[in-house]
Structure 1
Amino acid sequence: MDNSNVIIIGAGASGLMCAIEAGKRGRKVRVLDHANRAGKKILMSGGGRCNFTNYTVEAANYISHNPHFCKSALSRFTQWDFIDFVHRHRIPYHERLHGQLFCDDSAKDILNALLAECRQYGVVIELNCRIDKLQQTENGGFVLDTSLGERRSDSLVIASGGLSIPKMGATPFGYRVAEQFGIKVWPTRAGLVPLTWQDDDGRRLAPLSGIAVACRASCGERTFRENLLFTHRGLSGPAILQISSYWRPGETLSIDLLPEFDLVERLKAARSNGNNTKLQNLLAEYLPKRLLQALLDDNYLLAAAANCSDKQIDAVAARLHTWTVKPNGSEGYRTAEVTVGGVDCDSLSSKTMQCLQVPGLYFIGEVVDVTGWLGGYNFQWAWASGWCAGQYV
Structure 2
Amino acid sequence: MKSSDIDVLIVGAGAAGMMCAIEAGKRGRRVRVIDHARAPGEKIRISGGGRCNFTNLGTSGANFLGENPRFALSALRRFTQHDFIKMVDRHGVAWHEKTLGQLFCDDSAKQIIRMLTDEMKAAGVTLSLGLGVKTVERAGERFQVDLDDGSRVTAASLVVATGGKSIPKMGATGWGYEVARRFGLRVTDTRPALVPLTFEPGLLEQLKPLAGVSVDAVVRHKAPREAGPGRPAKETVFREGLLFTHRGLSGPSILQISSYWREGEAITVDLAPDRDAAAEILAAKTENGKQAVHTAVGHIVPRRLAEALCARENLSGKLAE
Give the corresponding residue for 2:77. 75
Matched, 1:224 2:203: no
Q: In the alignment, is the contact (CA less than 8 A) between 2:281 and 2:297 conserved in 1?
A: no
Matched, 1:147 2:148: yes
Structure 1 consecutive aligned stretches of length 4 or more whose deviation exceeds 6 Å: none
Name the CA distance, whole Å, in 2 between partners of 1:198 and 1:291.
19
> SS in structure 2 opposite 1:154?
strand
- Which structure exhibits the higher relative contact order, with contacts defined as CA atoms closer than 8 Å and separated by 6 or more residues? 1
8-17 or 259-268, larger mean C-alpha shift:
259-268
Q: Structure 1: any 5+ residue segments left out of the alignment?
A: 309-393
CA offset at residue 251 of structure 1? 2.1
Deviation string, structure 1 residues 6-41 (Cα, Å, up to 9, x no partner): 101111111111111111111110001111111111
Matched, 1:250 2:264: yes
Match of 1:213 among 215, 224, 241: 215
Name the CA distance, whole Å, in 1 between partners of 2:116 and 2:125.
11
Deviation string, structure 1 residues 137-159 (Cα, Å, up to 9, x no partner): 21x11110111311111111111
Name the CA distance, whole Å, in 1 between partners of 2:27 and 2:264.
50
Name the CA distance, whole Å, in 1 between partners of 2:133 and 2:271.
49
CA offset at residue 83 of structure 1? 0.2
Name the CA distance, whole Å, in 1 between partners of 2:105 and 2:239.
25
CA offset at residue 252 of structure 1? 2.4
Q: Structure 2: any 5+ residue segments left out of the alignment?
A: 223-234
Tell me the TM-score normalized by structure 2: 0.90
Tell me the TM-score normalized by structure 1: 0.74
Give the corresponding residue for 1:259. 273
> SS in structure 2 opposite 1:239?
helix
* Matched residue type, 2:241: N
Q: In the alignment, is the contact (CA less than 8 A) between 2:285 and 2:291 conserved in 1?
A: no
Name the CA distance, whole Å, in 2 between partners of 1:280 and 1:41.
43
> SS in structure 2 opposite 1:30?
strand
Number of residue pairs the alignment of both structures matches: 305
Quote the RMSD (CA, aligned, Å).
1.6
Q: In the alignment, is the contact (CA less than 8 A) between 2:277 and 2:300 conserved in 1?
A: no
CA offset at residue 290 of structure 1? 2.3
Name the CA distance, whole Å, in 2 between partners of 1:119 and 1:61.
32
Match of 2:130 among 128, 131, 134: 128
* Matched residue type, 1:31: V
Q: Which has the higher helix share?
A: 1
Identical-pair percentage? 48
Name the CA distance, whole Å, in 2 between partners of 1:50 and 1:58.
19
Give the corresponding residue for 2:249. 235
Name the CA distance, whole Å, in 2 between partners of 1:232 and 1:299.
23
Superposition map of 1:94-133 within 5 A: 94-133=96-135
Match of 2:294 among 274, 280, 293: 280
Give the corresponding residue for 2:230. none
CA offset at residue 303 of structure 1? 3.3
> SS in structure 1 opposite 2:162?
coil
Name the CA distance, whole Å, in 1 between partners of 2:220 and 2:127.
44
* Matched residue type, 1:69: F
CA offset at residue 177 of structure 1? 1.3
